[in-house]
């Protein structure tokens, strides 16, 4: 609902996360009013200076698992960006943890998202909800195990396949798949305008005090992270390449899809993708200290499918940053933060 000065108001959930924090910054820079939700607003002091919102920024305490806790945050908003999500990767596939996964990860993700949509349904001002999904929900493999030539929004990984294979990161994939399926069904039943952004692995700058998980995944060939490098390798096996997008572009895409009246359904947001060997070469070029000799580059490469953002581009969206720039900005920011040592 525009105020007397013509400013639109948007709610951003998960405002202290990687995408959420940059999205708040981007919206404020565009002159919007922002309702930022946090579980603990007192922890927002790190972000306040970077956001530079002044009286256009309002903080709201909200918990995904608390019914009605988003009512105040979405009241009077023109739209809601639901970015908040669990980044749980480390559930072993060898143990029977079905009960744990359901009670501690899946139920909170689904219930929390439905809580937000329910809050939105109580107000007549919210015109659209933009939901942040993930490229992890897609696959380049066809039903026979062969490679598709193009991966787009239609190439969703079957839930049955996720449960059967339980590959690295399977809980995160399952959470995103089931949550997205549930919210679209709820939106349809309650006449809510919902658009989903299928987000590639995000790199570039960041505002968070700790290194975002997606940044650490991108850098795992350099750091050798024993938890996240297998995630990157699993992505490469499923997709045939690594799909990347810059943090500025992914936030611009969220805003573009919120504002474009023709937007509907799901949109894959990926600048481009690169083979594992190409990613390693980019990392080695930008960070001369990188020890990537342990990789058999041929072993990590397949015939990658084209990971296509055609639907988003056809709507009129354009990207500002190349893969080379994504890696460059990722490495530079992590060197500045001390995560990557400078030698």
Which residues does the chain have with pLDDT short of 70? 1-5, 86-107, 168, 290-304, 343
pLDDT of residue 106: 63
Longest dimension (CA), the chain: 61
Domain that holds residue 169: 9-204+241-273+306-321
pLDDT of residue 30: 95
Q: What SS3 class is residue 105? A: helix
Q: Is residue 267 domain-resident?
A: yes
In 3-state terms the chain splits into helix, strand, coil percentages (rounded to 5) of: 45, 15, 40
pLDDT of residue 44: 84
pTM here? 0.91
pLDDT of residue 164: 75
The set of catalytic residues is 176
- Strand-strand pairing, 57-61 and 33-38: parallel
Contacts by residues 166-169 (CB-CB < 8 Å, ≥ 24 positions apart): 166/93, 167/93, 167/234, 167/237, 167/238, 168/89, 168/93, 168/230, 168/231, 168/233, 168/234, 169/89, 169/136, 169/231, 169/234, 169/235
Q: What is the pLDDT of residues 179-215, one digit of tens each?
A: 898 889 999 999 999 999 999 999 999 999 999 999 9
Q: Tell me how far apart the alpha carbons of residues 192 and 82 are, in angstroms, rounded to a whole number.
A: 14
Closest alpha carbon to 157 in 252, 149, 167, 290: 167
Chain Cα centroid distance, residue 196: 11
Q: Is residue 222 domain-resident?
A: no
pLDDT of residue 296: 53
pLDDT of residue 94: 40
pLDDT of residue 171: 78
Q: What is the pLDDT of residues 35-63, one digit of tens each?
A: 999 988 877 888 988 898 889 999 999 98
Q: Is residue 248 domain-resident?
A: yes
Q: Is residue 79 domain-resident?
A: yes
pLDDT of residue 49: 86
List the CATH number of the domain containing 197: 3.40.50.720
Q: Is residue 134 domain-resident?
A: yes
Considering its fold, how many domains does the chain have in total?
1
Q: Is residue 68 domain-resident?
A: yes
pLDDT of residue 101: 47
Chain Cα centroid distance, residue 212: 11
pLDDT of residue 292: 62
Closest alpha carbon to 198 in 186, 182, 183, 180: 180
Q: Is residue 327 domain-resident?
A: no
């Amino acid at each position: 609902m525009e105020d007397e000065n013509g400013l639109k108001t948007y709610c951003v959930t998960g405002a202290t996360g990687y995408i959420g924090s940059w999205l708040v910054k981007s919206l404020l820079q565009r002159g919007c009013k922002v309702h930022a939700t946090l579980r603990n607003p007192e922890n927002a002091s790190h972000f306040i200076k970077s956001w530079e919102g002044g009286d256009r920024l309002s903080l709201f305490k909200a918990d995904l698992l608390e019914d009605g806790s988003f009512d105040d945050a979405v009241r009077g908003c023109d739209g809601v960006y639901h970015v908040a999500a669990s980044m749980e990767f480390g559930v072993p596939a060898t143990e029977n943890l079905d009960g744990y996964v359901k009670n501690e990860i899946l139920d909170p993700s689904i219930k929390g998202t439905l809580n937000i949509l329910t809050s939105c349904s109580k107000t007549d001002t919210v015109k659209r909800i933009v939901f942040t999904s993930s490229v992890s929900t897609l696959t380049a493999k066809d039903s026979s195990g062969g490679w598709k030539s193009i991966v787009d929004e239609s190439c969703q990984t079957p839930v049955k396949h996720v449960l059967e294979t339980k590959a690295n990161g399977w809980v995160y994939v399952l959470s995103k798949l089931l949550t997205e399926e549930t919210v679209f069904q709820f939106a349809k039943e309650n006449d809510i305008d919902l658009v989903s952004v299928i987000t590639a692995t995000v790199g570039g700058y960041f505002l968070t005090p700790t290194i975002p998980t997606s940044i650490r995944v991108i850098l795992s060939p350099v750091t050798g992270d024993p938890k996240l490098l297998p995630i990157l390798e699993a992505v490469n096996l499923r997709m045939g390449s690594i799909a990347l997008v810059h943090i500025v572009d992914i936030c611009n895409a969220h805003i573009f899809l919120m504002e474009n009246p023709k937007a509907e359904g799901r949109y894959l947001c990926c600048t481009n993708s690169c083979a594992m060997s190409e990613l390693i070469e980019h990392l080695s070029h930008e960070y001369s200290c990188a020890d990537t000799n342990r990789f058999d580059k041929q072993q990590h490469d397949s015939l990658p499918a084209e990971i296509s953002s055609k639907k988003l581009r056809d709507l009129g969206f354009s990207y500002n940053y190349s893969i080379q720039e994504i890696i460059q900005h990722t490495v530079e920011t992590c060197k500045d933060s001390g995560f990557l040592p400078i030698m």
